[in-house]
Structure 1
Amino acid sequence: MKGRAARLAPVIDMSEQEEREAARQLGKCQAQLMQAEQKLADLQQYRDDYHKQWLNAGSQGVSGQWMIGYQRFLSQLEDAIAQQERSAAWHREVVTKARQAWQQRYARLEGLRKLVQRYRQEQRLVDDKHEQKQLDEMSQRLLQRARAY
Protein backbone atom coordinates (compact mmCIF):
# COMPACT_ATOMS: atom_id res chain seq x y z
CA MET A 1 0.00 0.00 0.00
CA LYS A 2 1.29 3.40 -0.89
CA GLY A 3 0.30 6.95 -0.14
CA ARG A 4 -3.31 7.61 0.62
CA ALA A 5 -4.23 3.93 0.89
CA ALA A 6 -1.51 3.37 3.52
CA ARG A 7 -2.67 6.34 5.55
CA LEU A 8 -6.13 4.79 5.79
CA ALA A 9 -4.85 1.50 7.27
CA PRO A 10 -5.27 2.58 10.93
CA VAL A 11 -8.76 3.92 10.16
CA ILE A 12 -9.71 0.61 8.56
CA ASP A 13 -8.30 -1.33 11.52
CA MET A 14 -10.36 0.75 13.93
CA SER A 15 -13.44 0.42 11.72
CA GLU A 16 -12.99 -3.37 11.60
CA GLN A 17 -12.81 -3.50 15.39
CA GLU A 18 -15.95 -1.38 15.68
CA GLU A 19 -17.79 -3.60 13.18
CA ARG A 20 -16.74 -6.78 15.03
CA GLU A 21 -17.84 -5.30 18.36
CA ALA A 22 -21.19 -4.25 16.88
CA ALA A 23 -21.67 -7.76 15.45
CA ARG A 24 -20.82 -9.28 18.85
CA GLN A 25 -23.27 -6.94 20.56
CA LEU A 26 -25.97 -7.82 18.01
CA GLY A 27 -25.41 -11.52 18.69
CA LYS A 28 -25.67 -10.95 22.43
CA CYS A 29 -28.92 -8.99 22.00
CA GLN A 30 -30.36 -11.68 19.74
CA ALA A 31 -29.55 -14.35 22.33
CA GLN A 32 -31.28 -12.30 25.03
CA LEU A 33 -34.32 -11.86 22.78
CA MET A 34 -34.46 -15.60 22.16
CA GLN A 35 -34.38 -16.20 25.92
CA ALA A 36 -37.14 -13.67 26.52
CA GLU A 37 -39.30 -15.19 23.78
CA GLN A 38 -38.67 -18.70 25.09
CA LYS A 39 -39.67 -17.64 28.59
CA LEU A 40 -42.84 -16.09 27.16
CA ALA A 41 -43.64 -19.27 25.24
CA ASP A 42 -43.04 -21.33 28.39
CA LEU A 43 -45.40 -19.13 30.41
CA GLN A 44 -48.06 -19.33 27.73
CA GLN A 45 -47.70 -23.10 27.54
CA TYR A 46 -47.92 -23.34 31.32
CA ARG A 47 -51.10 -21.23 31.25
CA ASP A 48 -52.62 -23.44 28.55
CA ASP A 49 -51.72 -26.59 30.47
CA TYR A 50 -53.14 -25.13 33.67
CA HIS A 51 -56.35 -24.21 31.84
CA LYS A 52 -56.68 -27.78 30.53
CA GLN A 53 -56.27 -29.09 34.08
CA TRP A 54 -59.02 -26.72 35.17
CA LEU A 55 -61.32 -27.97 32.43
CA ASN A 56 -60.61 -31.53 33.53
CA ALA A 57 -61.22 -30.78 37.18
CA GLY A 58 -64.19 -28.55 36.39
CA SER A 59 -65.98 -31.31 34.54
CA GLN A 60 -65.87 -33.39 37.73
CA GLY A 61 -67.04 -30.55 39.93
CA VAL A 62 -64.94 -28.17 42.03
CA SER A 63 -65.43 -26.21 45.22
CA GLY A 64 -65.87 -22.47 45.32
CA GLN A 65 -62.58 -22.18 47.22
CA TRP A 66 -60.76 -24.10 44.47
CA MET A 67 -62.36 -21.83 41.86
CA ILE A 68 -61.21 -18.68 43.70
CA GLY A 69 -57.67 -20.08 43.98
CA TYR A 70 -57.68 -20.95 40.29
CA GLN A 71 -58.85 -17.46 39.31
CA ARG A 72 -56.22 -15.82 41.54
CA PHE A 73 -53.42 -17.97 40.18
CA LEU A 74 -54.60 -17.48 36.59
CA SER A 75 -54.66 -13.71 37.13
CA GLN A 76 -51.08 -13.79 38.42
CA LEU A 77 -50.05 -15.93 35.49
CA GLU A 78 -51.67 -13.51 33.03
CA ASP A 79 -49.80 -10.63 34.71
CA ALA A 80 -46.52 -12.53 34.36
CA ILE A 81 -47.29 -13.20 30.68
CA ALA A 82 -48.08 -9.52 30.06
CA GLN A 83 -44.84 -8.50 31.75
CA GLN A 84 -42.88 -11.02 29.72
CA GLU A 85 -44.54 -9.78 26.52
CA ARG A 86 -43.33 -6.27 27.37
CA SER A 87 -39.86 -7.65 28.05
CA ALA A 88 -39.80 -9.48 24.71
CA ALA A 89 -41.01 -6.33 22.90
CA TRP A 90 -38.24 -4.32 24.58
CA HIS A 91 -35.66 -6.91 23.54
CA ARG A 92 -36.96 -6.78 19.94
CA GLU A 93 -36.37 -3.01 19.93
CA VAL A 94 -32.88 -3.50 21.33
CA VAL A 95 -32.12 -6.05 18.60
CA THR A 96 -33.41 -3.66 15.94
CA LYS A 97 -31.17 -0.87 17.25
CA ALA A 98 -28.17 -3.20 17.54
CA ARG A 99 -28.76 -4.42 13.97
CA GLN A 100 -28.91 -0.83 12.72
CA ALA A 101 -25.69 0.02 14.58
CA TRP A 102 -23.95 -3.02 13.07
CA GLN A 103 -25.25 -2.20 9.58
CA GLN A 104 -23.92 1.36 9.88
CA ARG A 105 -20.50 0.16 10.98
CA TYR A 106 -20.44 -2.51 8.28
CA ALA A 107 -21.40 0.03 5.60
CA ARG A 108 -18.68 2.41 6.83
CA LEU A 109 -16.11 -0.36 6.75
CA GLU A 110 -17.11 -1.41 3.25
CA GLY A 111 -16.98 2.21 2.11
CA LEU A 112 -13.45 2.56 3.47
CA ARG A 113 -12.39 -0.68 1.81
CA LYS A 114 -13.75 0.52 -1.54
CA LEU A 115 -11.96 3.84 -1.08
CA VAL A 116 -8.66 2.05 -0.40
CA GLN A 117 -9.24 -0.13 -3.44
CA ARG A 118 -9.86 2.96 -5.57
CA TYR A 119 -6.70 4.61 -4.18
CA ARG A 120 -4.71 1.47 -5.00
CA GLN A 121 -6.08 1.39 -8.54
CA GLU A 122 -5.23 5.06 -8.99
CA GLN A 123 -1.72 4.43 -7.65
CA ARG A 124 -1.31 1.48 -10.03
CA LEU A 125 -2.27 3.71 -12.94
CA VAL A 126 0.24 6.34 -11.82
CA ASP A 127 2.90 3.65 -11.38
CA ASP A 128 2.08 2.11 -14.77
CA LYS A 129 2.31 5.52 -16.49
CA HIS A 130 5.59 6.24 -14.74
CA GLU A 131 6.96 2.84 -15.75
CA GLN A 132 5.76 3.31 -19.32
CA LYS A 133 7.42 6.74 -19.43
CA GLN A 134 10.70 5.24 -18.19
CA LEU A 135 10.50 2.46 -20.77
CA ASP A 136 9.78 5.00 -23.53
CA GLU A 137 12.73 7.15 -22.43
CA MET A 138 15.03 4.14 -22.26
CA SER A 139 13.82 3.01 -25.63
CA GLN A 140 14.52 6.48 -27.07
CA ARG A 141 18.04 6.50 -25.60
CA LEU A 142 18.77 3.06 -27.01
CA LEU A 143 17.47 4.16 -30.39
CA GLN A 144 19.60 7.30 -30.30
CA ARG A 145 22.69 5.26 -29.35
CA ALA A 146 22.01 2.80 -32.12
CA ARG A 147 21.76 5.67 -34.63
CA ALA A 148 24.98 7.19 -33.28
CA TYR A 149 26.92 4.03 -34.12
Structure 2
Amino acid sequence: MNKRSKRLQLVLELAERKKQQADQFLAASRQRVEQDKRTMEQLDQYMSEYQQNYLGVNAEGLSGAQLHAQQAFLQKIQDAKTTQQQAMEQNRRELAVVEQHWKEAYAKVKGVEKLKDKAINAENMAEEKALQQQLDERAQTIRTPFI
Protein backbone atom coordinates (compact mmCIF):
# COMPACT_ATOMS: atom_id res chain seq x y z
CA MET A 1 0.00 0.00 0.00
CA ASN A 2 1.14 3.49 -0.57
CA LYS A 3 -0.18 7.04 -0.55
CA ARG A 4 -3.94 7.07 -0.97
CA SER A 5 -4.58 3.56 0.27
CA LYS A 6 -2.57 4.25 3.44
CA ARG A 7 -4.60 7.37 4.14
CA LEU A 8 -7.80 5.44 3.48
CA GLN A 9 -6.60 2.71 5.85
CA LEU A 10 -6.40 5.30 8.63
CA VAL A 11 -9.90 6.55 7.76
CA LEU A 12 -11.12 2.95 7.73
CA GLU A 13 -9.66 2.26 11.18
CA LEU A 14 -11.38 5.34 12.56
CA ALA A 15 -14.69 4.32 10.95
CA GLU A 16 -14.34 0.81 12.38
CA ARG A 17 -13.76 2.20 15.89
CA LYS A 18 -16.88 4.34 15.56
CA LYS A 19 -18.82 1.31 14.35
CA GLN A 20 -17.59 -0.75 17.31
CA GLN A 21 -18.76 2.01 19.62
CA ALA A 22 -22.10 2.03 17.81
CA ASP A 23 -22.24 -1.78 18.26
CA GLN A 24 -21.84 -1.33 22.00
CA PHE A 25 -24.50 1.40 22.16
CA LEU A 26 -26.87 -0.74 20.10
CA ALA A 27 -26.37 -3.77 22.36
CA ALA A 28 -26.91 -1.67 25.49
CA SER A 29 -30.03 -0.04 24.06
CA ARG A 30 -31.49 -3.39 23.01
CA GLN A 31 -30.73 -4.76 26.47
CA ARG A 32 -32.61 -1.85 28.10
CA VAL A 33 -35.65 -2.47 25.88
CA GLU A 34 -35.61 -6.18 26.74
CA GLN A 35 -35.26 -5.39 30.44
CA ASP A 36 -38.21 -3.01 30.16
CA LYS A 37 -40.31 -5.80 28.65
CA ARG A 38 -39.36 -8.21 31.44
CA THR A 39 -40.10 -5.58 34.09
CA MET A 40 -43.50 -4.83 32.54
CA GLU A 41 -44.31 -8.55 32.43
CA GLN A 42 -43.37 -8.85 36.11
CA LEU A 43 -45.55 -5.87 37.02
CA ASP A 44 -48.46 -7.31 35.02
CA GLN A 45 -48.04 -10.68 36.73
CA TYR A 46 -47.75 -9.07 40.16
CA MET A 47 -50.84 -6.94 39.51
CA SER A 48 -52.81 -9.97 38.35
CA GLU A 49 -51.78 -12.05 41.37
CA TYR A 50 -52.54 -9.23 43.77
CA GLN A 51 -55.95 -8.61 42.18
CA GLN A 52 -56.82 -12.29 42.49
CA ASN A 53 -55.70 -12.25 46.11
CA TYR A 54 -57.64 -9.02 46.65
CA LEU A 55 -60.81 -10.55 45.24
CA GLY A 56 -60.38 -13.69 47.36
CA VAL A 57 -59.80 -11.74 50.56
CA ASN A 58 -62.50 -9.24 49.68
CA ALA A 59 -65.03 -12.04 49.39
CA GLU A 60 -64.30 -12.90 53.02
CA GLY A 61 -64.84 -9.31 54.05
CA LEU A 62 -62.45 -6.51 54.89
CA SER A 63 -62.65 -3.50 57.08
CA GLY A 64 -62.84 -0.11 55.41
CA ALA A 65 -59.23 0.69 56.26
CA GLN A 66 -58.01 -2.62 54.84
CA LEU A 67 -60.06 -2.13 51.69
CA HIS A 68 -58.66 1.39 51.27
CA ALA A 69 -55.08 0.16 51.84
CA GLN A 70 -55.45 -2.57 49.20
CA GLN A 71 -56.97 -0.18 46.70
CA ALA A 72 -54.13 2.28 47.35
CA PHE A 73 -51.60 -0.50 46.82
CA LEU A 74 -53.28 -1.51 43.55
CA GLN A 75 -53.09 2.13 42.47
CA LYS A 76 -49.36 2.19 43.29
CA ILE A 77 -48.83 -0.87 41.12
CA GLN A 78 -50.81 0.80 38.33
CA ASP A 79 -48.71 3.97 38.71
CA ALA A 80 -45.54 1.87 38.51
CA LYS A 81 -46.86 0.26 35.33
CA THR A 82 -47.58 3.69 33.84
CA THR A 83 -44.10 4.90 34.73
CA GLN A 84 -42.59 1.73 33.29
CA GLN A 85 -44.62 2.14 30.10
CA GLN A 86 -43.28 5.67 29.68
CA ALA A 87 -39.72 4.43 30.23
CA MET A 88 -40.30 1.69 27.65
CA GLU A 89 -41.52 4.21 25.11
CA GLN A 90 -38.48 6.42 25.72
CA ASN A 91 -36.09 3.48 25.44
CA ARG A 92 -37.76 2.31 22.22
CA ARG A 93 -37.38 5.79 20.70
CA GLU A 94 -33.76 5.81 21.82
CA LEU A 95 -33.24 2.37 20.28
CA ALA A 96 -34.55 3.63 16.93
CA VAL A 97 -32.05 6.51 17.01
CA VAL A 98 -29.19 4.20 18.02
CA GLU A 99 -30.10 1.71 15.27
CA GLN A 100 -30.03 4.52 12.70
CA HIS A 101 -26.63 5.65 13.99
CA TRP A 102 -25.36 2.06 13.79
CA LYS A 103 -26.60 1.69 10.20
CA GLU A 104 -24.80 4.90 9.23
CA ALA A 105 -21.58 3.75 10.91
CA TYR A 106 -21.81 0.36 9.21
CA ALA A 107 -22.43 1.97 5.81
CA LYS A 108 -19.45 4.27 6.30
CA VAL A 109 -17.15 1.34 7.07
CA LYS A 110 -18.34 -0.50 3.96
CA GLY A 111 -17.95 2.63 1.82
CA VAL A 112 -14.43 3.32 3.03
CA GLU A 113 -13.50 -0.35 2.50
CA LYS A 114 -14.65 -0.09 -1.13
CA LEU A 115 -12.71 3.14 -1.62
CA LYS A 116 -9.59 1.57 -0.13
CA ASP A 117 -9.94 -1.51 -2.35
CA LYS A 118 -10.32 0.71 -5.42
CA ALA A 119 -7.26 2.72 -4.40
CA ILE A 120 -5.19 -0.44 -3.92
CA ASN A 121 -6.31 -1.76 -7.30
CA ALA A 122 -5.46 1.56 -8.99
CA GLU A 123 -2.06 1.63 -7.28
CA ASN A 124 -1.35 -1.97 -8.30
CA MET A 125 -2.33 -1.24 -11.90
CA ALA A 126 -0.13 1.86 -11.93
CA GLU A 127 2.80 -0.16 -10.57
CA GLU A 128 2.26 -2.91 -13.15
CA LYS A 129 2.04 -0.34 -15.94
CA ALA A 130 5.26 1.33 -14.76
CA LEU A 131 7.02 -2.04 -14.54
CA GLN A 132 5.81 -3.04 -17.99
CA GLN A 133 7.00 0.28 -19.37
CA GLN A 134 10.44 -0.27 -17.82
CA LEU A 135 10.59 -3.77 -19.30
CA ASP A 136 9.59 -2.43 -22.71
CA GLU A 137 12.26 0.29 -22.52
CA ARG A 138 14.92 -2.24 -21.54
CA ALA A 139 13.85 -4.57 -24.30
CA GLN A 140 14.25 -1.75 -26.82
CA THR A 141 17.70 -0.72 -25.57
CA ILE A 142 19.14 -4.23 -25.46
CA ARG A 143 20.36 -5.22 -28.89
CA THR A 144 20.66 -8.77 -29.77
CA PRO A 145 23.93 -9.91 -31.38
CA PHE A 146 22.00 -11.35 -34.29
CA ILE A 147 21.20 -7.97 -35.82
* TM-score range relative to shorter protein: 0.7 to 0.9
Specify the alignment match of 2:105 in structure 1: 105
| 1:23-42 superposed matches below 5 A | 23-42=23-42
Q: Distance in 1 between matches of 2:49 and 2:136?
A: 88
Specify the alignment match of 1:131 in structure 2: 131
Aligned residues: 147
User: Is 1:12 matched up with 2:1?
Assistant: no
For 1:145, give the aligned amino acid: T
Specify the alignment match of 2:57 in structure 1: 57
Specify the alignment match of 2:92 in structure 1: 92
Deviates most, 11-20 or 59-68:
59-68
Mind listing any 5+ residue stretches in structure 1 that lack a counterpart?
Answer: none
Q: Distance in 2 between matches of 1:147 and 1:6?
A: 48
Q: Distance in 2 between matches of 1:147 and 1:107?
A: 61
Percent of paired sites with the same residue = 26
The 8 Å contact of residues 36 and 84 in structure 2, kept in 1 or not, is answered as yes
TM-score (normalizing by structure 2)? 0.87
The 8 Å contact of residues 8 and 115 in structure 2, kept in 1 or not, is answered as no
The 8 Å contact of residues 33 and 88 in structure 2, kept in 1 or not, is answered as yes
Q: Cα–Cα, structure 1 residues 146 and 52, in superposed 2: closer, same or farther, change >3 Å?
A: farther
Deviates most, 112-121 or 46-55:
46-55
Specify the alignment match of 2:144 in structure 1: 145
Root mean square deviation of aligned Cα: 1.8
